[in-house]
Amino acid sequence: MTQAFLPFALPDIGEEEINEVVNTLRSGWVTTGPKTKEFEESFARYIGGNVEAISVNSATAGLHLALEACGITHGDEVIVPTLTFTATAEIVRYLGADPVFVDCDLNTLCIDISQIESKITTKTKAIIPVHMAGLPCDMEAIIAIARKYNLRVIEDAAHTCPSKINNIYIGQHDSDAIVYSFYATKTITTGEGGMIVTKNTELAKRCKVMRLHGISRDAFDRYTSTKPAWFYEIVAPGYKYNLSDIASSLGLCQLAKADRFQVRRQQMAELYMKELADLPVILPPQVVNAETDLHSWHLFCCQLNTDKINRDDFIVAMSQKGIGTSVHFIPLHFQPYWQEYYKLKAEDFPNASKYYKNAFSLPLYTKMTHDDQLRVIKAVKEILR
């Protein structure tokens, strides 16, 4: 291997982000403060639809706060897809509730909407759909089911900044809350961080209180309001989920580039689609209507479609050619905790089990050069031909 190793993902950090963070450090306000407030307001404007945005230190924290604000508690059930990262389900357990797992739809890799109703019981209180890899779920169909059974909807939008369906951005639908991730590998990043978006003022109020120890005023208000700075009231046993101004400084710069990043990711995805079309690979699902739908292309998830090499050997071969790959995701019914605790079986989730056996993800991020991508394509072709 003569070329440097090409990692699976890298954040696209420019001088603007560096300068903004330096300015924040020099300001002396490094925890939750004016930059975080500005980031929240900018994000709400970006999503549109008169939403309110509440920043958090991770999407996991955001999902937890949203579920808690919806009143999910011990003994309740929450419907989640099995093809997702564990955070989607673990936050249900934080509250003493139980996740109920649903298979994926192989046409989208999102939750199989046709199976949701069969999983609903008298204990079911909410649905958490995941917009897999940046491809939006059919939110109108999911919300219709939720309304029929009086369920709450919290969207796991960790992969979708920006995505839209039927000309409506993810974040503008009538879900109770939509939660984004700004982790280092996401389409925009704050290093660690996330955002809750909601149209529900009471839910937003509860999330703000629980985000910082159950304090009735947030950290920024405590130091800028007319009340004494030292005075606060604890109204609930909250958490420590606030986002810092240092992270928000990154977020403001990244948000300004979000549309440009999406265009570049789209171009890269289209090149992959074109160049890999004649190989024994099942390529990622695309949007149904390119005129009205938008895919964020956070991930480029493929499946091998050959008996001549298995997925694990393919990943090793790519690594030997100096290229990082990954798998998204190991379905939760294969993970020891979920499998053992809920007695899950692979045959109960045939689509996700089939997908996982051959699944791999190719690097797709805006810091990759055109030559980097051609190198990935060349390696895939050499291995599979």
Residues 252 and 265 both lie in one domain: no
Residues 169 and 244 both lie in one domain: yes
Q: Which of 125, 164, 186, 208 is catalytic?
A: 186
Q: Predicted confidence band at 172 (pLDDT cuts at 50, 70, 90)?
A: very high
Other CB atoms within 10 A of residue 200 CB:
19
Say how far apart CA 236 and CA 205 lie, in whole Å: 12
The whole domain housing 334 covers 258-384
Domains: count for the chain: 2
- Residue 75 domain flag: yes
**Residue-level pLDDT at 210:** 98
Structure tokens at 74: 């011990």
- Residue 124 domain flag: yes
Q: Which of 357, 384, 362, 356 is nearest to 374 (CA)?
A: 362
Whether the CB-CB separation of 304 and 360 falls below 8 Å is answered with yes
Q: Are strands 164-165 and 359-362 parallel, antiparallel or unpaired?
A: unpaired
Residues 118 and 252 both lie in one domain: yes
**Residue-level pLDDT at 223:** 65
- Residue 1 domain flag: no
**Residue-level pLDDT at 226:** 65
Residues 120 and 267 both lie in one domain: no
Indicate the residue among 213, 235, 256 that finishes a domain: 256
The residues, ordered by sequence, that sit 6+ positions from 245 with a Cβ below 8 Å of its Cβ are: 24, 27, 29, 30, 31, 32, 33, 34, 35, 36
Phi, psi of 280 (to 5 degrees): -75, 65
Indicate the residue among 197, 230, 256 that finishes a domain: 256
Asked if the peptide bond before residue 5 counts as cis, ω within 30 degrees of 0, the response is no
CATH code of the domain covering residue 335: 3.90.1150.10
User: Is 186 among the catalytic positions?
Assistant: yes
Residues 220 and 349 both lie in one domain: no
- Residue 10 domain flag: no
Question: In Å, how far from its chain's centre is CA 27?
Answer: 31
Residues 271 and 289 both lie in one domain: yes
**Residue-level pLDDT at 125:** 99
Position 381 pLDDT exceeds 70: yes
- Residue 269 domain flag: yes
Q: What is the torsion angle, in degrees rounded to the nearest 10, for the CA atoms of residue 360, residue 362, residue 363 and residue 364? A: -120
Whether the CB-CB separation of 200 and 176 falls below 8 Å is answered with yes
Indicate the residue among 256, 291, 326 that finishes a domain: 256
> With pLDDT > 70 as the criterion, what percentage of the chain qualifies?
98
**Residue-level pLDDT at 217:** 79
Residues 133 and 244 both lie in one domain: yes
Residues 192 and 287 both lie in one domain: no
- Residue 284 domain flag: yes
**Residue-level pLDDT at 218:** 75
Residues 205 and 309 both lie in one domain: no
Whether the CB-CB separation of 80 and 100 falls below 8 Å is answered with yes
List pLDDT tens digits, range 215-265.
Answer: 987 767 766 766 677 888 999 999 999 999 999 999 999 999 999 999 999
**Residue-level pLDDT at 60:** 98
**Residue-level pLDDT at 221:** 74
List pLDDT tens digits, range 259-289.
Answer: 999 999 999 999 999 999 999 999 999 999 9
Residues 155 and 72 both lie in one domain: yes
Mean pLDDT over 140-161 rounds to 98
Mean pLDDT of the chain: 96
List pLDDT tens digits, range 79-135.
Answer: 999 999 999 999 999 999 999 999 999 999 999 999 999 999 999 999 999 999 999
**Residue-level pLDDT at 299:** 98
- Residue 28 domain flag: yes
Residues 188 and 280 both lie in one domain: no
Q: Which of 151, 80, 150, 72 is nearest to 115 (CA)?
A: 80
> With pLDDT > 90 as the criterion, what percentage of the chain qualifies?
95
- Residue 9 domain flag: no
Q: Which helix (H) or strand (E) holds 263?
A: helix 258-275
Q: Predicted confidence band at 151 (pLDDT cuts at 50, 70, 90)?
A: very high
Residues 206 and 159 both lie in one domain: yes
**Residue-level pLDDT at 229:** 75
**Residue-level pLDDT at 236:** 97
Which of 16-25, 137-146, 228-237 has the lowest average pLDDT? 228-237
Position 306 pLDDT exceeds 90: yes
Amino acid letter, 133: A
CATH code of the domain covering residue 78: 3.40.640.10
Position 1 pLDDT exceeds 60: no
List pLDDT tens digits, range 50-84.
Answer: 999 999 999 999 999 999 999 999 999 999 999 99
